[in-house]
Amino acid sequence: MFSFKQKNHKYPPPTSGAPILKNLGLTLVVGVSLLIPSYNAEAKTSRIKDIINIEGVRDNQLVGYGLVVGLNGTGDGLNNSPFTKQSLIAMLERLGVNIRGENVNTGNVAAVIVTATLPPFTNQGAKIDVSVSALGDAKSLQGGTLLVTPLIAADGNAYAVAQGEVNIAGFSIEGDAASITQNIPTAGRIPNGGIVEREIGFKLEDLQHIRLSLKNPDFTTSRRIAQAINGFTNARLAKAENSASVMLRLPNNYDGTIVDLITDIEQLPIQPDQPAKVIISERSGVIVMGADVRVSSVAIAQGSLTLKINEAPQVSQPNPFADQGDTVIVPRTDVSANIGEDVKLAVLDTGVTLQDLVTGLNKLGVKPRDIITILQAIKAAGALQAEIEVM
C-alpha cells in the first residue's frame, strides 16, 4: 500500500535512468526494468502523452451557413443560386429593408459554408480560426467579408459565432480569350474569426477514473503502459482493458485531482509495439513497410515485355511537271521489343529483415509498382510474415 501525507504531492518526474518511486513513509529506488519486461535497448521510446488520447478530451466540429459580401463581381449568380438570393432577402429583412418581390441582381454576394474546430476546454470568449468555402458558383472570395454566422455542433446548439475578412491563398483573373487561376480562390480562412459563446460541459478534474485511448491499438503497448504506470507509482492504478484502452483510477488518499495524476505519468517513456504490416497505395505506387516485416525463404524473378511502335509517315509526290501521278502518304512504322533479357533470379533466405528485402529488390532494379505485385505474390505464397493493407 502507498499513502500521500503531504498536500498536493506528485510523483517525481521521470529521469533519463530508472524512475524514483516514492512512498512518503519509505523512499525506494526501483528500476522499471524490475517491474516490467525488458525491451530492446536500441528500440526507440515515446512518451505516454504522445501515444494516447484521454477519453473525453477531444475536439468538436462546428459548421455554419453564412454570406460573404464585398466581392468585386465574383460572387454567386442569383439566378443560378436561389439559396443565395433567399438568404440575402432574409438578411435584409432582419435589418429592416424589404426587397421581397423586387428584381435583385448583384454579383457581390456569395453563400458559404463556414467550418471550425472547437478545442477541448476552450473558455467562453476565446477566439478560434474558421474556414470559409463557397457554396454556389462564385468565382472568388477575394476581398470579401463574412457576416455574422452562428456555428453549431452535432447537438444543434451554437457554440461560436464567426465574422471577419476572408483571407485566400489564390486568385483568378480572366479576360475574353484567356484566364489564369492559382490555388483555390473560392476557399479561405479567417484567423481568430470565431468567438466561443458556449463552453463544453466536461469537468475532467471531477472524475475518479479515466480511460487512456491508444492512438495505435496494440495489446503489447497497452500492457506496457499499464505496467509502466503501476511500476512508477508503486501501486496498481492502471489496468489494460484491451488493445485500445487502459483504465487509470485516482487513489482514494491522493490529494490531487485526476489532472495531477495525468501530469505525473504522461512523461513516462514507453516502447510502442506494432504488428508487422505493409501499407500499399496502388494509385500512387507508395509502399511503407514496418521494421518487423520478415520473409521466409523465397526466390524472386521480375521481368516484362515492352513493345514500342513509332509511326513516321512520309509524303510521296510526283516529279515536277510530270504528266501523271498523285501525292500519297507512305506509312513508315518502326517496331521494337524488349523481352527483359537482363532478368535476374534472386533468393532470399528464411527470416530476412526489411532491409534485406528492400536491398534485394533494389538489386533487381524493380520499380515501386512492380514491388507491389511482388509483395502480393510473396504474401500469396505464404512467405511474407506480415499483413498487407491496401489504401
The residue type found at 276 is A
Nearest to 66 by CA among 166, 198, 207: 166
Which position has the higher pLDDT, 39 or 213? 213
Q: What mean pLDDT do residues 222-235 have?
A: 92
Which position has the higher pLDDT, 239 or 373? 239
3-state SS class at 115:
strand
Q: How far apart are the first and last CA of the chain?
A: 50
pLDDT of residue 12: 46
**pLDDT tens profile 327-338:** 777 776 565 555
pLDDT of residue 149: 96
Rounded to an integer, what distance in angstroms lies between the CA atom of residue 183 and that of residue 250?
51
To the question of pTM greater than 0.85 for the whole model, the response is no
pLDDT at 167 over 50: yes
**pLDDT tens profile 142-163:** 999 999 999 999 999 999 999 9
Q: What mean pLDDT do residues 233-257 have?
A: 90
Mean pLDDT of the chain: 78
Band of the pLDDT at 135, cuts 50, 70, 90?
very high
Grid cell at residue 28: 525506494
CATH T-level assignment (fold) for domain 20-56+203-270: Gyrase A; domain 2 (3.30.1360)
73-82, 236-245, 313-322 — most confident range: 236-245
Task: Compute the Cα dihedral for 221, 222, 225, 230 and give only its sign.
Answer: negative
pLDDT of residue 1: 38
For the chain, give every residue range classified as CATH 3.30.1360.
20-56+203-270
Residues 6+ apart with CB under 8 A from 122: 128, 196, 199, 200
State percent of the chain over pLDDT 90: 35
Of 71-80, 145-154, 347-356, the one with minimum mean pLDDT is: 347-356
Of 10-14, 18-22, 135-139, the one with minimum mean pLDDT is: 18-22
**pLDDT tens profile 29-69:** 333 333 334 445 445 789 999 999 998 888 999 999 999 99
State percent of the chain over pLDDT 70: 73
pLDDT of residue 43: 57
123 in Cβ contact with 97 (< 8 Å): no
**pLDDT tens profile 266-322:** 999 999 988 888 888 877 778 888 777 877 777 766 665 454 556 567 777 777 766
pLDDT at 345 over 80: no
Nearest 5°: the CA angle 70, 95, 98 is 95
pLDDT of residue 5: 36
